[in-house]
Chain A
């Protein structure tokens, strides 16, 4: 072994340790809250369509990701934000980092999925659903609920879990949809009545469904796709979409003013609205704004409707993000234990 050889090895090791984990030229860096397995499928397809561009992805849960983006604000490391809950993204501290961009084909998209100023657009979304464990229902001789109203039935006392609105975006989405549906006064009363049956408020949005899946509780109020996942995994879960209409959330994408590779970022955004991508949304997401997305057999079998728009409650996103601080404060005071 020569001295040079050793030196090369030492330098390589140093480069590995000190080499920055962020993008090189030609790559783009995306921060996303989309599910890990979905990200992989979308990116594999994108790599086939545009082989020259490599997308480096950091995936974190919505809350952690927003915290990271805000903390890194002095020196942002990502080019784009891809698929993060709108209610969290319309925070003025985040919107001011956006560079307006309207991807090709955005005119086909319905109004509620895009920002008039072009700062964000949403390709996919999710909505509320109950994960009901059929084994626990049978064991305790409980009826199958069909609506929010049904959950007030005293037989469910101590058998329901839902996310905590102060720590989970899904939790907030559910509270705000009930307040918008029933009006604030009746809405708060409803939440207080529901509280009598509630076993726990869970700190994450998907965990209530997992707790129902393992049989800890009969009913986990969560979002629909986490129910679909538990069903596909094999758990004795039935997915119930509340008949009053399900509150929903859209997952938005945004180009950063500070992006180091804007052209490739824009190419990536254009691709997100193509028919190729839309087909994948049909297989992977519970709702999509891009024309051409069609739900697959397996998803329909798990209990999702073919036409999602029939089950959604028409949310007022402006109001829900504007009132967020106030509603969470009130929720903490009136409902949280």
Chain B
């Protein structure tokens, strides 16, 4: 680390304005994190100590002493570790194929990989059951007697569910590289395997560790998939559901919510240990990697990518088809009858969802990129704290976060009480619910830029603000775009936290899907999900078209 030396030779006024920029940026990042992450979590933490006899450890004792607790913890960890290993390996291979080979169909494959992000969770569960259920297509056709329910069902569903999250982070990591390193290695006689092991893997370790953390926390906090496909395989997240929704015992649910924060804390420690001696991959003289065609490698990459894509697409496609069928799987005639939605507000919640998602995309980009830049300029200790705060929300199950928001913002004493019941709080809740992913995409791309870039820029007299706007942001612009897209699509479909924040006037599309499914109209729920996916696809198309137009008008440096 040589950061400390550079600014000293600079003139006093520049230093002051830089310090001011840092302070403003710091406040703009940290204050919202405290208000919208720490305060709700403290409310949950406090709740976990509330017993009928005042504050105490009673709830913890009661929960830990329950005979099944040990097994539920073990179940949670074995599902999460298995799914994490599979997902990160697959996603790394997939991102590598797309970013480091010259295979064809890259755009198509990249788009399909993101499908699970904008399919409501019900689509995933329905799709898997339509395909692999006891009465699913595969068992009906081949009479195999596959029983998908239980451990492997949860693993498969969660691999598909968390795949795009891992892919986004890993492709940000693999997108940038310094060609000179690869060239020198080749000239020194290193083979492809050795180059991969000694250059590619180490230079993407940020991304790998972030992806491991994100996937692990997504799987361990997910309760949708275990509910539908887990049968009697209990995990911590379903135990929260049992306590909170089954029995109205929020304080016991809070205890498990607190327990789930432990893996996040461990992950932060591990991350810091592994990346302690970090050197940035992208130096000040970095040359972008020129990919050369390579017949068998590109063919293998394409084969692998298509395999992954077809698994992902099959799930969504089967639900899409089923929504146009009279009565799956008994009457396969085409019909539009499921598209007459029998909910109070019809398709209106879809428009509310789009508003909320646009808001979340805007707020999310600013929050994640600002935090990513701040992390770059802070001293290690402060940076660690910021990292912890930023990724903490990933470890909080949506249900717990939603309850935390009620306790924090529905309180008459909270000056922000006016936010409760508005569209804005729904957007904010979505941003901080998925803050870790946005932050990690931002830091993965910003963190890979060499600090010498900052130092050089500052030595040449540019302040932080100018370094940021003229150098850093343009380089990471593609990552910024994908952060905005990420927050938009997640906000369109997420349910677990906002279900506690919607009001009669702020109904969301994902809630309509749940209500339809709840009242026994799963087919209408599937049809509504298809509408959501179409809107998201249209929005994404429009968005990419805009980016393309702007990129042509003012080419990026």
By the criterion CB–CB under 8 Å, are A59 and B515 in contact?
A: yes
CB of B57 within 8 Å of the partner chain = no
Q: Which of A174-182, A186-194, A198-206, A274-282 contacts B (4 or more CB under 8 A)?
A: A198-206
| In the complex with contacts A59-B344, A60-B499, A333-B67, A214-B329 CB distance below 8 A | yes
Query: Does A311 interact with chain B (Cβ within 8 Å)?
Result: no
Q: In the bound complex, do residue A67 and residue B133 qualify as a contact, i.e. CB atoms below 8 Å apart? A: no
Interface size class of B (residues with CB under 8 A): 35 or more
- Which of B231, B241, B504, B515 has the largest number of chain A CB atoms within 10 A? B504
How far is the CB of A124 from the nearest CB of chain B, in Å?
15
Q: Which residues of A have CB within 8 Å of B234? A: 336-337
* Cross-interface CB contact of A336 among B232, B342, B522, cutoff 8 Å: B232
> If A21-B504, A64-B499 touch, does A70 touch B520 (CB 8 Å cutoff)?
no
Nearest residue in B to A206 (C-beta to C-beta)?
B520
Q: How far is the CA of A66 from the CA of B500 in the complex (A)?
A: 11
Taking a contact as CB atoms under 8 Å apart, the answer to whether B505 and A22 are in contact is: yes
Instruction: Determine whether the beta carbon of A18 is less than 8 Å from that of B515.
Output: no
- Given the complex, which residues of B lie within 8 Å of A215, measured CB to CB? 134-135, 329
Tell me the smallest distance from the CB of B250 to a CB of chain A, in Å.
Answer: 6
Per-residue interface assignment for chain B, residues 220 to 243, with 1 indicating a CB less than 8 Å from any chain A CB and 0 otherwise: 000000011001101000100110
B406 touches A18 (CB 8 A): no
B244 touching A67 by the CB < 8 A rule? yes
Stretch of A142-150, A228-236, A285-293 lying at the B interface: A228-236
A22 touches B504 (CB 8 A): yes
Q: Once bound together, how far apart are the Cα atoms of A285 and B420, in whole Å?
A: 34
CB closest residue in chain B, given A27? B504
With contacts A21-B421, A36-B519, A58-B503 taken as known, whether A74 is within 8 angstroms of B410 at the C-beta atoms is yes
Q: Is B506 an interface residue (CB 8 A)?
A: yes
Given A36-B342, A88-B248, A200-B232, are A17 and B523 also a contact pair (CB < 8 Å)? no
B140 to chain A: closest residue by CB: A215
Which residues of chain A are within 8 angstroms of B248 by Cβ–Cβ distance? 63, 66-67, 70, 88, 91, 93
Which of A104-112, A160-168, A263-271, A312-320 has 4 or more CB atoms under 8 Å from chain B? A160-168
Tell me whether A39 and B344 are in contact (CB under 8 A): yes
Beta-carbon contact of B520 and A200 below 8 Å: no
Q: Does A72 reach chain B (CB closer than 8 Å)?
A: yes
Q: Which one of B245, B328, B342, B518 contacts A206 once the chains associate, using CB atoms below 8 Å? A: B518
Q: Distance (Å) between the CB of A197 and the closest chain B CB?
A: 14
Cα-based distance from A208 to B91 in the complex (angstroms): 35
Interface residue? B521 (CB, 8 A): yes
B residues in contact with A88, CB < 8 Å? 248
**Cα A301 to Cα B359 with chains together (Å):** 49
Flag whether A184 is at the interface (Cβ < 8 A).
no
Evaluate contact between A166 and B246: CB separation under 8 angstroms. Answer: yes
Query: Quick check: is A5 within 8 A (CB to CB) of the other chain?
Result: no
Residues in chain B near residue A156, CB distance under 8 A: none
A22 CA / B149 CA spacing, docked (Å): 41
Query: Which of the residues B66, B232, B244, B329 comes within 8 Å of A337, measured between beta carbons?
Result: B232
Instruction: Please determine whether A64 and B503 come into contact, CB atoms closer than 8 angstroms.
Output: no
Alpha-carbon distance A57/B506, docked complex (angstroms): 11
Say yes or no for B480: interface residue by CB 8 A criterion.
no
Contact B232 A70 (CB under 8 A): no
A36 interface neighbour in B129, B355, B516, Cβ under 8 Å:
B516
- B406-445 vs A, Cβ < 8 Å mask (1 yes, 0 no): 1100111000011111111000000000000000000000
- Whether B343 and A203, one on each chain, are in contact in the complex, defined by CB atoms closer than 8 angstroms, is no
Q: Please give me the residue from chain A that is nearest to B66 by CB atom.
A: A332
A330 within 8 A of B: no
Contacts of B521 in A (CB 8 A): 229, 233
Interchain CB contact (< 8 A) of A210 among B245, B417, B520: B520
- A96 at interface, CB cutoff 8 A: no
Chain A contacts of B244 at CB under 8 A?
63, 67
Instruction: Kindly state the separation between the CA atoms of A164 and B68 in the bound complex, as whole angstroms.
Output: 15
Of the candidates B66, B410, B423, B520, the one whose C-beta lies within 8 Å of that of A72 is B410
A residues in contact with B506, CB < 8 Å: 21
- Cβ contacts under 8 Å, A74 to chain B: 407, 410-412
Whether A75 pairs with B135 at a CB distance below 8 angstroms is: no
Select which of B250, B422, B515 is within 8 A of A21 by beta carbon.
Answer: B422
- B38 CB to nearest A CB, Å: 19
- A201 contacts B232, C-beta separation under 8 Å: yes
Chain B min CB distance to A25 (Å) = 15
Please pick, from A63, A75, A91, A229, the residue contacting B519 in the complex, using a CB distance under 8 A: A229
A333 / chain B contacts, CB cutoff of 8 Å: 67
Minimal beta-carbon separation of A256 from chain B (angstroms): 14
Q: A332 touching B68 by the CB < 8 A rule?
A: yes
Interface check B30, CB cutoff 8 A: no
| B482 at the A interface (CB under 8 A) | no
Residues of B within 8 A of A297 (CB): none
Say if the beta carbon of B450 comes within 8 Å of chain A. Answer: no
B247 within 8 Å of A by Cβ? Answer: yes
User: Separation in Å of the A295 CB from the closest CB of chain B?
Assistant: 18
Contacts of A234 in B (CB 8 A): 326-327, 330-331
A16, CB-defined interface residue at 8 Å:
yes
A216 contacts the other chain (CB 8 A): yes
Shortest B122–chain A CB gap in Å is 12
Q: Is the pair A216, B504 in contact by a Cβ cutoff of 8 Å? A: no
Contact of B403 with A by CB under 8 A: yes
CA distance A19 to B506 in the complex (A): 10
CB distance from A330 to the nearest CB of B (A): 12
Contact residue among B134, B330, B420 (Cβ-Cβ distance under 8 Å from A235): B330
Docked complex Cα distance between A270 and B323 (Å): 41
B515 touches A216 (CB 8 A): no
Q: Does B238 contact A203, Cβ atoms closer than 8 Å?
A: yes
- Is A20 touching B520 in the complex (CB atoms < 8 A)? no
Would you give the 0/1 interface string for B494-520, flagging 1 where the beta carbon is closer than 8 Å to chain A? 000001101111100000000110111
Q: Which of A16, A71, A209 interacts with B406 by CB under 8 Å?
A: A71
Q: Is A56 an interface residue (CB 8 A)?
A: yes
Q: Assess the B421–A17 pair: CB atoms within 8 A.
A: no
Is A226 part of the contact surface with B, judged by Cβ < 8 Å? yes
**Contact, CB under 8 Å: B327 / A71:** no
Decide if B359 touches A17 in the complex (CB within 8 Å): yes
CB distance from A81 to the nearest CB of B (A): 13
Decide if A123 is an interface residue (CB 8 Å cutoff). Answer: no
Rounded to whole angstroms, the CA-CA distance of A17 and B67 in the bound complex is: 47
Contact A229 to B423, CB < 8 A, known contacts A36-B515, A72-B406, A168-B246: no
B520 to A167, Cβ gap below 8 A? no
Alpha-carbon separation in the docked complex, A236 to B135 (Å): 14
Q: In the assembled complex, how far is the CB of residue B270 from the closest CB belonging to chain A, in whole angstroms?
A: 33
Q: Which residues of A contact B502 (CB under 8 A)?
A: 21, 58
Inter-subunit contact B519/A17 (CB<8 Å): no
Whether A115 is near chain B, meaning CB under 8 Å from some CB there, is no
Tell me whether A67 and B516 are in contact (CB under 8 A). no
CB-defined A-B contacts under 8 Å, sample of 23: A17-B355, A18-B419, A21-B503, A21-B505, A22-B503, A36-B515, A57-B504, A71-B406, A135-B330, A167-B246, A199-B231, A200-B149, A200-B232, A204-B227, A204-B518, A210-B522, A216-B133, A230-B520, A234-B326, A235-B327, A236-B330, A336-B232, A337-B234
Extra A-B contacts (7), CB below 8 Å, given A37-B342, A67-B250: A36-B516, A37-B519, A67-B248, A214-B329, A216-B133, A230-B520, A332-B66
